[in-house]
């Protein structure tokens, strides 16, 4: 066992800062490296060079995922995949996604320097369009075989640019995306390191967050329908005021979570329209979005049921009608228990504090859970900021995360990642 092995923070820092220059808008502090833009392609070429310099066989697969591969000592074993993404949102930060990819690269260099040969092959993947410029997570969906040619041909960005046109402009062949799909039985495990993008680890002064699962999400469009009346002539007790219904519902949210949710539940009313929306008119209609999240499928269903019950009781109380439309329902994706165990024991060997936590944001890991034993860890985000130019993670935390990834990789390769390990692979 190579428990003394550590990543080089100097090399990792150098890579993060170098990649952090690609797609940087000179007038702005942030990164503009949206999927299939010129800057994104430049970043992919830069990464291919870095992977080759570290001894990997590196190429773009059919979905333009950057894939670097190192063969193992036993050529016939399924592959351990490490990955994240290098695309950014507009005005994004330098750690989101890039940390997981470049830390994975640094792990492989640390192993090479120490002349440690893993028994399994390792693939390091920077998945295309994790940030969802074209509406999904194109790269990892292709890699895990969860994409149809029809999906590829119908994906568009918010400006109406099709994925097909964007790929062709980069000299890529969109239909080849189907060939990016891997056989699940050739993948042994998936590991991802990512910044938390939230305030919890910093607030709790904890080094590592071991992710238990990616939250499922339901998104509703809710309508409370009352009666628009003159605000002066209609007495308070004779109104059907849709806003009062919405206000009552908002007030009930903490109780709904307390009674039917969990500490990982989230309910958010993010967008509200009052109709007719006039200062001197009682609002006859309140149209709003309701987004619910939890990591447990049953809890998410209970939350949804409870919201429906509460809304209909409130509607009756205020003489309103209530309708809702389910815009989307995404099942929670639990991470693998044996991979979580590997990350926990890695953190303990490194004397790092750790807590278990959910991921409220989506990540490449969520699609990998469908095909293999997948797990991820978070390191702290300063002030919880992400998807913004002042996104920051302390270099010490960068180093901790990379070392934790390296130690977990060694355990998974050796098959010593805890009692819950399933046999085979």
- Of the listed pieces 88-96, 152-160, 318-326, 406-414, which binds Zn ion according to CB under 5 A? 88-96
Closer to Zn ion by CB, 70 or 127: give it.
Answer: 127
- Where are the alpha helices (H) located in 20-144, listed in sequence order? 38-53, 98-113, 138-143
Alpha helices in 68-204 (DSSP H): 98-113, 138-143, 149-154, 163-169, 200-203
* 334 touching Zn ion, by CB under 5 A: no
Q: How far apart are CB 194 and Zn ion at their closest, in Å?
A: 6
Indicate the residue among 224 and 398 with the shorter CB distance to Zn ion: 398
Q: How far is CA 316 from the centre of its chain?
A: 39
Query: CB 328 → Zn ion: shortest distance, Å?
Result: 20
- Span of 92-100, 107-115, 198-206, 315-323 interacting with Zn ion by CB under 5 A: 92-100
Does residue 112 contact residue 55 with C-beta atoms inside 8 Å?
yes
Q: Which of 97, 245 has the CB closer to Zn ion?
A: 97
Which of the stretches 11-19, 91-99, 153-161, 416-424 binds Zn ion when contact is defined by CB under 5 A?
91-99
Q: What are phi and psi of 256, to 5 degrees?
A: -60, -45
CA 110 to chain centre: 27
Name the residue nearer to Zn ion (CB basis): 98 or 341. 98
Query: How far is 79 from 368, CA to CA, in rounded Å?
Result: 13
Q: Nearest distance from residue 309's CB to Zn ion, in Å?
A: 36
3-state secondary structure of 269: coil
Least Cβ distance, residue 46 to Zn ion (angstroms): 18
CB-nearer residue toward Zn ion: 15 or 96: 96
Task: Compare residues 97 and 283 and give the one whose CB is closer to Zn ion.
Answer: 97
Shortest distance in whole angstroms from residue 304 CB to Zn ion = 27
Of the pair 224, 404, the CB lying nearest Zn ion is at 404
Applying CB under 5 A, which part among 90-98, 297-305, 343-351, 392-400 lies near Zn ion? Answer: 90-98
Query: Hunting for tokens 């959910």 — which residue is that?
Result: 358
Burial class (CB in 10 A: 0-12, 13-18, 19+), 203: exposed
- Specify the residue, 66 or 242, whose C-beta has the smaller distance to Zn ion: 66
Q: How far apart are CA 139 and CA 132, in angstroms?
A: 10
**Does 380 contact Zn ion by CB under 5 A?**
no
Neighbours of 202 (CB within 10 A): 17
Stretch that binds Zn ion, among 35-43, 94-102, 228-236, 304-312 (CB under 5 A): 94-102
Tell me how far, at minimum, the Cβ of 291 lies from Zn ion, in Å: 19
CA 204 – CA 357 distance, rounded (Å): 12
Options 97, 139, 213, 358; binder of Zn ion; rule CB under 5 A? 97
| Positive or negative torsion for Cα 311, 312, 316, 319 | positive
Rank residues 97 and 136 by Cβ distance to Zn ion and give the closer one.
97
Minimal distance, residue 358 CB to Zn ion, in Å = 16
Q: Which is nearer to Zn ion, 96 or 413 (CB)?
A: 96
Residues in the interface with Zn ion (CB under 5 A) total 2
Q: Which residue is nearest to Zn ion (CB)?
A: 97
Candidates 13-21, 89-97, 151-159, 301-309; binding stretch for Zn ion (CB under 5 A): 89-97
Q: Spell 379-396 as b/e; 16+ CB within 10 A means b.
A: bbbbeebbbebebbbeee
The helix (H) or strand (E) run that includes residue 326 is strand 321-330
Q: Least separation, in Å, of the C-beta of 89 and Zn ion?
A: 9
Contacts (Cβ under 8 Å, ≥6 apart) of 200: 206, 209, 355, 357, 384
Specify the 3-state DSSP secondary structure of 113.
helix
CB of 375 to Zn ion, least distance (A): 16
Report, in Å, the least distance between residue 284 CB and Zn ion.
42
- According to the binding rule CB under 5 A, does residue 96 interact with Zn ion? yes
Collect all residues with Cβ–Cβ distance below 8 Å to 196 and sequence separation of at least 6.
Answer: 202, 209, 378, 379, 380, 381, 384
Region from 15-23, 40-48, 97-105, 226-234 binding Zn ion, contact rule CB under 5 A: 97-105
The nearer residue to Zn ion, 132 or 425, going by C-beta atoms, is 132
Binding residues vs Zn ion (CB under 5 A): 96-97
């Amino acid at each position: 066992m190579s428990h003394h092995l550590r990543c080089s923070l100097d090399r990792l820092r150098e890579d993060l800062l170098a990649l952090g220059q690609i797609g940087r808008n000179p007038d702005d502090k942030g990164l503009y490296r949206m999927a299939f833009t010129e800057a994104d392609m430049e970043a992919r070429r830069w990464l291919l060079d870095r992977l080759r310099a570290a001894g990997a066989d590196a190429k773009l697969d059919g979905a333009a995922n950057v894939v670097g591969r190192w063969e193992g000592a036993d050529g016939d074993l399924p592959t351990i995949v490490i990955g994240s993404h290098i695309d950014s949102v507009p005005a994004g930060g330098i750690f989101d996604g890039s940390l997981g990819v470049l830390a994975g690269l640094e792990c492989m260099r640390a192993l090479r320097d120490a002349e440690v040969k893993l028994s399994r092959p390792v693939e390091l993947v920077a998945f295309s369009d994790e940030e969802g410029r074209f509406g999904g997570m194109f790269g990892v969906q292709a890699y895990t075989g969860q994409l149809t040619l029809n999906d590829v041909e119908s994906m568009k960005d918010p400006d109406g640019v099709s994925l097909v046109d964007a790929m062709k402009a980069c000299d890529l062949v969109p239909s080849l995306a189907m060939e990016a799909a891997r056989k699940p039985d050739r993948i042994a495990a998936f590991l991802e390191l990512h910044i938390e993008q939230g305030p919890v680890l910093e607030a709790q002064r904890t080094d590592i967050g071991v992710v238990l699962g990616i939250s499922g999400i339901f998104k509703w469009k809710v309508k409370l329908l009352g009666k628009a009346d003159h605000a002066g002539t209609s007495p308070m007790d004779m109104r059907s005021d849709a806003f009062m219904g919405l206000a009552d519902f908002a007030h009930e949210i903490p109780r709904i979570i307390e009674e039917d949710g969990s500490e990982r539940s989230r309910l958010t009313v993010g967008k509200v329209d009052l109709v007719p929306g006039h200062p001197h008119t009682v609002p006859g209609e309140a149209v709003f979005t309701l987004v619910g999240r939890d990591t447990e499928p049953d809890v998410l269903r209970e939350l949804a049921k409870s919201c429906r019950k509460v809304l209909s009781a409130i509607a009756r109380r205020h003489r309103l009608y209530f309708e809702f439309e389910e815009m989307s329902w995404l099942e929670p994706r639990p991470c693998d228990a044996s991979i979580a165990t590997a990350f926990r024991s890695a953190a303990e060997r490194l004397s790092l504090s750790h807590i278990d936590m959910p991921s409220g944001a989506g990540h490449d890991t969520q699609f990998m859970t469908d095909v293999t034993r997948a797990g991820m860890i978070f390191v702290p985000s300063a002030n919880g900021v992400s998807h913004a130019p002042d996104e920051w993670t302390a270099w010490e935390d960068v180093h901790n995360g990379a070392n934790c990834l390296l130690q977990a990789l060694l355990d998974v390769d050796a098959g010593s990642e805890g009692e819950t390990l399933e046999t085979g692979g």
